[in-house]
């Protein structure tokens, strides 16, 4: 902005960009007034902030100060790039925070986790040994040794038990997930209670909303949900039950049973050849 500008012109720009500190303004997601009350910044420091440029520089200094404080208490950072952490977050020793990660709103993160790169966590509790890669966690609880991501989202009201794997492009909303369950890719789990050691095949969707109301489904322990299954809530999938790939399940499946809901395949011999000839 100041390239090739004469000194007096530069001073005039700085004068016009004077910055009046508003104590409701936020740095690292927290109000300046709260940062002062908790001795993270001082009134004296603010007196040196006279324009927008200095405010941005001051905010960056505070961001690094907060990160260094976590580092001095045993949190590991390989780089500070793009990391924004509220000073009111709790992070235990041995956890690694990778670039591009944002954590705030009184989140609590256990020990020996790997968070990031490019992860976003707010108002959530993350247990020991969790890994969250390029994913978003809102107002939820993850217990120990949970793996999330990349490119997944855990929406508010979800509780994910220990040793669960949530892979790429999976969304969980207002659901409980039992120990050892896997949803490895391309799955939506909404308004559901899922047992332990359940396997979700690729492309599974729990259809919880009919345009007017949301409905809840239940999936028992050790169930196997085949690829491209649609579960039309409310349905119950019993313990140890299977759904056949490509099924749209609208009724309960008893325990240790197979639910199949798809058309019988029909082959029209020679159809493709005639189709191409007709349209060539």
Instruction: Tell me whether residue 259 is exposed, middle or buried, using C-beta atoms within 10 angstroms of its C-beta: 0 to 12, 13 to 18, 19 or more.
Output: buried
The closest alpha carbon to 183, from 208, 157, 207, 154, belongs to 154
User: Which domains are assigned to the chain?
Assistant: 135-264 (2.160.10.10)
Of residues 8, 138, 185, 251, which has the active-site annotation? Answer: 185
CA distance 237 to 216: 12
Please give the biggest Cα pair distance in the chain.
84
Find all residues with CB under 8 Å of 112, minimum gap 6, and list them.
92, 94, 95, 128, 129
Give the global pTM: 0.89
> What's the pLDDT at 8?
56
Q: What is the pLDDT along the chain (280 residues), one digit of tens a residue?
A: 444 555 555 554 445 456 677 889 999 999 999 999 999 999 999 888 888 889 999 999 999 999 999 999 999 999 999 999 999 999 999 999 999 999 999 999 999 999 999 999 999 999 999 999 999 999 999 999 999 999 999 999 999 999 999 999 999 999 999 999 999 999 999 999 999 999 999 999 999 999 999 999 999 999 999 999 999 999 999 999 999 999 999 999 999 999 999 988 899 999 999 999 999 8
Residue 8 annotated as catalytic: no
Beta strand 182-190 pairing with 114-115: unpaired
């Amino acid at each position: 902005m100041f390239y090739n500008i004469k000194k007096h012109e530069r001073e005039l720009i700085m004068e016009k960009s004077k910055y009046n500190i508003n104590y409701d303004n936020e740095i690292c997601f927290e109000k300046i007034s709260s940062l002062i009350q908790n001795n993270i910044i001082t009134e004296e420091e603010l007196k040196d902030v006279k324009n927008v440029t200095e405010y941005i520089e001051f905010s960056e200094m505070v961001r690094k100060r907060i990160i260094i404080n976590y580092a001095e208490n045993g949190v590991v950072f390989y780089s500070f790039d793009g990391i924004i952490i509220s000073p009111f977050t709790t992070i235990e020793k041995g956890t690694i925070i990778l670039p591009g990660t944002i954590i705030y709103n009184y989140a609590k993160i256990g020990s020996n986790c790997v968070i990031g790169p490019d992860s976003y966590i707010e108002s959530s509790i993350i247990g020991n040994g969790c890994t969250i890669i390029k994913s978003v966690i809102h107002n939820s609880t993850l217990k120990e040794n949970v793996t999330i991501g990349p490119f997944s989202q855990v929406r508010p009201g979800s509780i994910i038990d220990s040793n669960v794997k949530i892979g790429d492009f999976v969304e969980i909303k207002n659901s409980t997930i039992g120990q050892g369950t896997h949803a490895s890719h391309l799955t939506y789990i909404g308004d559901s209670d899922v047992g332990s050691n359940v396997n979700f095949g690729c492309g599974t969707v729990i259809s919880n909303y009919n345009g007017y109301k949301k409905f809840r489904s239940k999936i028992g322990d050790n169930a196997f949900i085949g690829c491209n299954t649609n579960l039309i809530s409310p349905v119950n999938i019993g313990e140890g039950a299977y759904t056949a790939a490509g099924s749209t399940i609208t009724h309960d499946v008893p325990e240790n049973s197979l639910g199949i809901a798809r058309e019988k395949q029909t082959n029209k011999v020679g159809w493709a050849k005639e189709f191409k000839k007709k349209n060539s």
